[in-house]
Structure 1
Amino acid sequence: MSAPVAPRSVNIASIAAAIGAISVVGLGLALSIPLLAFELDARGISPTWIGINTATGGIATITLAPFLPNMVRRFGAGALLMVAVLTAAVSLLAFKVTASFLLWFPLRFIFGGALCVLFVVSEFWINAAAPNHRRGLVIGIYGTVLSMGFAGGPAILSLVGTTGWAPYLCGAIFFVLASIPVMIGAASAPAIEKESSRGVLSLMRIAPAATLAAFVFGAVETGLINFLPLYGLHRGLNEPQSALLLTIAELGNVGLQLPLGLLSDRVDRRKLLLVCGTIGVVGAFLIPHLAIDSWAMWATVFTTTGIVAGLYTVGLTLLGARFDGAALATANAAFIMLYSVGLIVGPTAVGGGMQLFDPNGFAWTIGAFLALYAAVVAGQIWRDR
């Protein structure tokens, strides 16, 4: 484990480059997953095969992430981000012109790999550029922009529709626009001087509170986005009301990351992660007992979702405080790998729970993920007293 680095001045151009990159990651994920699902459905592809194709993106992340620290060291963070942005834009357009469903698998792998590079490299960049005494503030802004990107994808689809070239062109244009701050900040991109002496798995063991936060966030957030509207329908809401419930949840993500980031600069970050996990448990188990169309439900969904998203923000801040240089890049790779595993495991587990205990298995499964995480963090804090 590396010692915390000395205080550094704030490089606005460098921070803007990382934030510009992450904005399109969220937007790209939130736009592409439903858009490509609609495209395949219109072509007559079964839901099972749509799900398998979607999971290929997660497999790309798990495969590529361990190699990214050395790629940053060899080619530079700025160059990698530029290649990833352009690859994402071109591959998104390629989906529209690729008629063969079989070719969608390597194409999805390439697209998922490009998003993986954007995720890992931008997180390493923002952590390396953030001053120690304002790390939580900077990463809180970073997390807010990521959440806004997640909210922006569906908004674009609602404006331009899901058919024709318009949504693909919009997505590609946003990727290209994100290259502008990357080009401006490339000269001040953080560099890795030597290889990390530790591997991805060893860093997971050193900082489980931070790295497991990514897994739980990925599992809970993806399970919630997929099944919260369906949960609303099963409890008597109509489709617009269910969509509103999901919108309120996503607003919690956007609204709470900056306050949590600021708070993480003032308190023990592991204890803050424990508090976030515990509040998430309480909120998840409270949901089945609230009237589905009540203000209490809206407030609970807003708070629970926003606080759970804080696992990502605070976990990333904790990584930056504990590691530096090559170790930080490797830790970020571990963070994104576990996030991607969560993307695969979460919807499967939450959907299975909802099927077994319809409809409240949705909330109970989410609560179980968070309870397990809270127990792990509490155990680590207890051991280190």
Structure 2
Amino acid sequence: MRPTRMALITIFGSTFLQLVAGFMLLPWLLYRLSENGVSVAVSGALAASSWIGILLITPLASRLVKRVGRQQALRLASLLSTVSVAGILLTSRLEWWFALVLLESISAGLRWVVGEALVVELAPTGRCGRCVGLYETMVGSTFFMGPVLLNLLGTSSVAVPWVALIMTGTALCLTHCLGSVPGSSQAITPHDVALSGLPNAVRRNAALVVIAFVGGFFEGGVSTVLPIYGLSLGFDATLSTWLVAASGLASAVVMLPAGLLVDHMSLQRKRSGNEKAPSARVVLMRWCTVLVMGLTLVMPWLSGLPWLAVVVAFVWGGAGGCLYTLTVIDIGERESGAALFETTAVMVLAYTVGAVVGPLLGATAMQWWSLLGFPALLLAVSATGWWALTHASVILPERALQPMAH
């Protein structure tokens, strides 16, 4: 097997195991708190700490990669995850659970940045969309594989953390089998030095920061408040839950088709010789934002059309997933070396902020302006993304609009 393919399989496998373990273990911890009579507020704080670590490590991830290298950064992410799960097995003290969940989220944030960047860096020429689409589909599958495995083991089973430890330990072993990542050098080029640093990465990729935020807002943030909006429309709890399911399903199934479509459109654009036309990635991003805006306009009439509400929720989740996937592909086509990891970190940070503030803004909009507040908020956010894409030549430097050869 070729070294590049082996490296990709290793990254895919270790990431899958670590994420499934995390999505299985966190609900198990929350159930333990509930059984012990711990307040909902404390449980919510524990769940929130799984995002705090990502926000803390993301700005530092690219600097860490420069210092220790890509392979060592990925191994460190697996090691921290294994230590976190082992610690949960050794103690039941609440303060330690908070610290260990925070440690796990730091590990997940580091793996998020390094894993995404390595996949696009190792993707064969002309197949970046396919590789990224497969990777994002795999990541999306872990969102429900973890809870499903938890249900199979039993939500009160003491075997859950042991299974999680086996999975994270296996992921750690896989990362040690990664060896030397082929295809690029660890050396920092003059281009990397001139453009190094997170602030520079934000300035050079302002439009993509906006798009990543919009993707996180719709995929991670809106889905959280869909049950509340469903109830406000007069739907019962079952139908409101189906809205969440539809959004989550879409964000998992659209990744690979979006990546394949980018590869196909890019090939057709190259064959036509029309290099001045907008890239396939930008065109598809615009379609996503326009589709979201169009369907959001029908929201005031959803109360009488439950099936349409499910379709709209599916589109929201799918559009958010597409925007994120296309952003990753765009970064992989334009950046290399240290700049690749810095730009990926910026994207992850923007996506995470969108996922975190989405529920806060959504709930506030529903409270202040009844049924119209939520649609107005979604229109404003999607229109901002469309504007950023339409005026990309203003927000992004011209270099960023031209794909770089691998």
TM-score class normalised by the smaller sequence? 0.7 to 0.9
Q: Which residue of 1 aligns with 2:102?
A: 109
1:255 to 253, 256, 259: 253
* Structure 1 residue 114: Cα displacement: 0.6
1:72–1:192 CA contact under 8 A, matched in 2: no
Q: Equivalents in 2 of 1:318, 1:279: separation in Å?
A: 20
1:13–1:181 CA contact under 8 A, matched in 2: no
Q: Which residue of 2 aligns with 1:336?
A: 348
Q: Which residue of 2 aligns with 1:3?
A: none
* Structure 1 residue 213: Cα displacement: 2.6
Distance 1:353 1:47, change over 3 A: farther
Q: Does residue 59 of the first structure (1) align with residue 71 of the second (2)?
A: no
Q: Which residue of 1 aligns with 2:239?
A: 241
Aligned partner of residue 11 in structure 1, secondary structure:
helix
1:13–1:184 CA contact under 8 A, matched in 2: no
Q: Does residue 79 of the first structure (1) align with residue 77 of the second (2)?
A: no
Show the 5 A alignment for 1:16-95.
16-24=9-17, 26-28=19-21, 30-95=23-88
Q: Which residue of 1 aligns with 2:404?
A: none
1:211–1:315 CA contact under 8 A, matched in 2: no
Q: Which residue of 1 aligns with 2:111?
A: 118
1:68–1:120 CA contact under 8 A, matched in 2: yes
Q: Which residue of 2 aligns with 1:225?
A: 223
2:166 to 154, 168, 173: 173
* Structure 1 residue 323: Cα displacement: 0.7
Q: Equivalents in 2 of 1:178, 1:292: separation in Å?
A: 48
1:356 to 345, 349, 368: 368
Q: Does residue 194 of the first structure (1) align with residue 191 of the second (2)?
A: no
Deviations 1:196-215 (A, max 9, x none): 42211211221223333322
Deviations 1:263-311 (A, max 9, x none): 2222512232222222223333434423576433333322331122111
Q: Equivalents in 1 of 2:28, 2:289: separation in Å?
A: 32
1:279 to 280, 291, 300: 291
Q: Equivalents in 1 of 2:156, 2:262: separation in Å?
A: 43
Q: Equivalents in 2 of 1:156, 1:68: separation in Å?
A: 30
More displaced 10-residue stretch of structure 1: 76-85 or 313-322: 76-85
* Structure 1 residue 125: Cα displacement: 0.8
Q: Equivalents in 1 of 2:10, 2:330: separation in Å?
A: 21
Q: Equivalents in 2 of 1:316, 1:346: separation in Å?
A: 21
Distance 1:213 1:241, change over 3 A: same
2:246–2:317 CA contact under 8 A, matched in 1: no
1:216–1:339 CA contact under 8 A, matched in 2: yes
1:278–1:374 CA contact under 8 A, matched in 2: yes
TM-score (norm 1): 0.86
Q: Equivalents in 2 of 1:68, 1:102: separation in Å?
A: 26
Q: Equivalents in 1 of 2:340, 2:158: separation in Å?
A: 40
Q: Please list every run of 5 or more consecutive structure 2 residues that lacks an aligned counterpart in the other structure.
A: 267-278, 402-406
Q: Does residue 379 of the first structure (1) align with residue 391 of the second (2)?
A: yes
Distance 1:181 1:100, change over 3 A: closer
1:305 to 317, 327, 351: 317
Show the 5 A alignment for 1:91-170.
91-95=84-88, 97-170=90-163
More displaced 10-residue stretch of structure 1: 267-276 or 174-183: 174-183
Q: Equivalents in 1 of 2:171, 2:217: separation in Å?
A: 27
Distance 1:352 1:156, change over 3 A: farther
1:237–1:293 CA contact under 8 A, matched in 2: no
Q: Equivalents in 2 of 1:237, 1:159: separation in Å?
A: 30
Q: Equivalents in 2 of 1:108, 1:367: separation in Å?
A: 35
Aligned partner of residue 132 in structure 1, secondary structure:
coil
* Structure 1 residue 139: Cα displacement: 0.5
Q: Please list every run of 5 or more consecutive structure 1 residues that lacks an aligned counterpart in the other structure.
A: 1-8
* Structure 1 residue 33: Cα displacement: 4.7
2:61–2:345 CA contact under 8 A, matched in 1: yes
Q: Supply the AA of the counterpart residue of 2:37.
A: G
TM-score (norm 2): 0.82
* Structure 1 residue 188: Cα displacement: 2.5
Q: What is the percentage of aligned positions where both structures have the same residue?
A: 25
Q: Supply the AA of the counterpart residue of 1:122.
A: G
Q: Supply the AA of the counterpart residue of 1:193.
A: A
1:210–1:316 CA contact under 8 A, matched in 2: no
Q: Equivalents in 2 of 1:320, 1:170: separation in Å?
A: 35
Q: Equivalents in 1 of 2:217, 2:228: separation in Å?
A: 17
Tell me how many residue pairs correspond in the alignment. Answer: 377
2:224–2:244 CA contact under 8 A, matched in 1: no
2:74–2:111 CA contact under 8 A, matched in 1: yes
Q: Equivalents in 2 of 1:302, 1:88: separation in Å?
A: 32
Q: Equivalents in 1 of 2:181, 2:381: separation in Å?
A: 39
Q: Equivalents in 1 of 2:171, 2:364: separation in Å?
A: 38
